[in-house]
Amino acid sequence: MKHLLEKDPVLSRVAAAEEVLWFNPKLQPVSSGLQELPLGMEDIRDAEARLARFAPFIEACFPETAPRKGLIESPLTPIPAMQELLEERFDAVIPGKLLLKLDSHLAIAGSVKARGGIYEVLKHTEDLAMEAGLLKETDNYAKLATPEMREFFSKYTVQVGSTGNLGMSIGIASAAVGYKVIVHMSVDAKQWKKDLLRSHGVQVIEYEADYGEAVKQGRAQSDADPMSYFVDDENSRNLFLGYAVAALRLQAQLKEQGIAVDADHPLLVTIPCGVGGAPGGVTFGLKQVFGDNVHVLFSEPVQCPSMLVGMATGLHSQVCVQDVGLTGMTEADGLACARPSGFVGKVIEPLLAGEVTIADPKLYHFMRALLESENIFLEPSACASFQGAVELLQQPAGKEWCETIGLTAEKLANSAHIAWATGGALVPADIRAAYEKMYL
């Protein structure tokens, strides 16, 4: 235990469940940081093209995507009233413009998992149909929504282990294709998410154990069935690339809003992090698109900062938060992953600026502040995204980091800081009302 805590001076504070701001000493310029990675921009473009091919199918299965013609994308919205309230109520200094990336309102699954999760289901669907000679790239993919194709896919099973949101995206999308679906849900998963999945005909298996055990059991059951496919949030390249496409979409949105991203106009992004798949994929995409002009922070609960512990020790998935004396328990169900993804940690090791941790009560304080100031609701775990903007210039470590990398006061005044809202649109009204009363 002691040798782990000696790896990084911030780790002793992490082990004490304090809110910390940690900067990654292994961050590299993109000129070197992207060179040795197993994936590149061509892989992101390939994923983007696949989503475009599937757009007619998505529109046919999910009429709510019709206004965007089958494109699953979320708004990017300035939140000046929230920025002002954060500065006033939390003594924060937030220069530039604060924006919210509303993946909380993505169609179908109401969370960031709608990106990677749905993409992986679609990639698997394309693979099966092409192998069977039922689909060509030049076809109109709406044909996949016919009863004949649903009958074909009904022979196959899709399984996943989840704390909630990934399970919802995989479950809802897989059921729409016609697969049998099994979602293995950890003790952290909220009951309403289990109920929603069952309403779509998804089999939900519940565990009185954490995320890691749900994944282990789900993988074992899937491996035992030759007709089953397991979606592995810890190691899946397809999930990762589905998330990475977000960067190309964001680039277009920033351009539409006249927001420059260059050396004099830095982009700062804070993303809530659980096992690491979604924030890792988004970070990979952002660094591919914006290079050294984007700086990404992950935000994790003080009792479950698994990616921070994995990266700070250099042990990645070989260490869990319990190894440094933390419980792994948090109200932020979507972030309750005690052991990080080794695949993601190693890919983003040269790309991630740093991490910030947040105490559970603050999630609810931020949630109410956003409702009060902008009338936007996010689930508590998504509100971890505000911690980066609040803490960056509030803590000496943040000010020192800005100086070290040349983020001058003038550049920060011209910056944009995006809080990446990861979930919330599907929260039932009664659960939302209960959330609003928490930690008052």
**pLDDT, mean over the chain:** 95
Stretch(es) of the chain classified as CATH 3.40.50.1100: 2-40+64-109+244-435, 113-237
CA–CA dist 123, 163 (Å, integer): 23
3-state secondary structure of 362: helix
Task: From residue 160, give the alpha-carbon distance in Å to each of 116, 173, 212.
Answer: 13, 12, 12
Two tokens, residue 20: 């910390």
Transcribe 67-107 into DSSP letters. Answer: GGTT-----EEE-HHHHHHHHHHS-----SEEEEEEGGG-T
Whether residue 207 is predicted with pLDDT greater than 80 in this model: the reply is yes
Q: Which CATH number fits domain 113-237: 3.20.20.70, 3.90.1140.10, 3.40.50.1100, 3.40.640.10?
A: 3.40.50.1100
Q: What's the pLDDT at 209?
A: 84
Mean pLDDT of 91-110: 96
Where b means 16+ CB within 10 Å and e means fewer, 102-141 reads: bbbbbbbbbbbbbbbbbbbbbbbbbebbeeeeebeeeeeb
Q: What is the pLDDT of residue 1?
A: 65
β-partners of residue 421 are 102
At residue 350, the pLDDT reads 97
Contacts of 314 (CB under 8 A, 6+ apart): 7
Domain 2-40+64-109+244-435: which topology?
Answer: Rossmann fold (3.40.50)
The pLDDT tens digits of the residues spanning 260-304 come to 999 999 999 999 999 999 999 999 999 999 999 999 999 999 999
Q: Using one digit for the tens of pLDDT, what is the confidence trace for 341-398?
A: 999 999 999 999 999 999 999 999 999 999 999 999 999 999 999 999 999 999 999 9
Q: What are 149's two structure tokens?
A: 């194709």
pLDDT at 239: 94
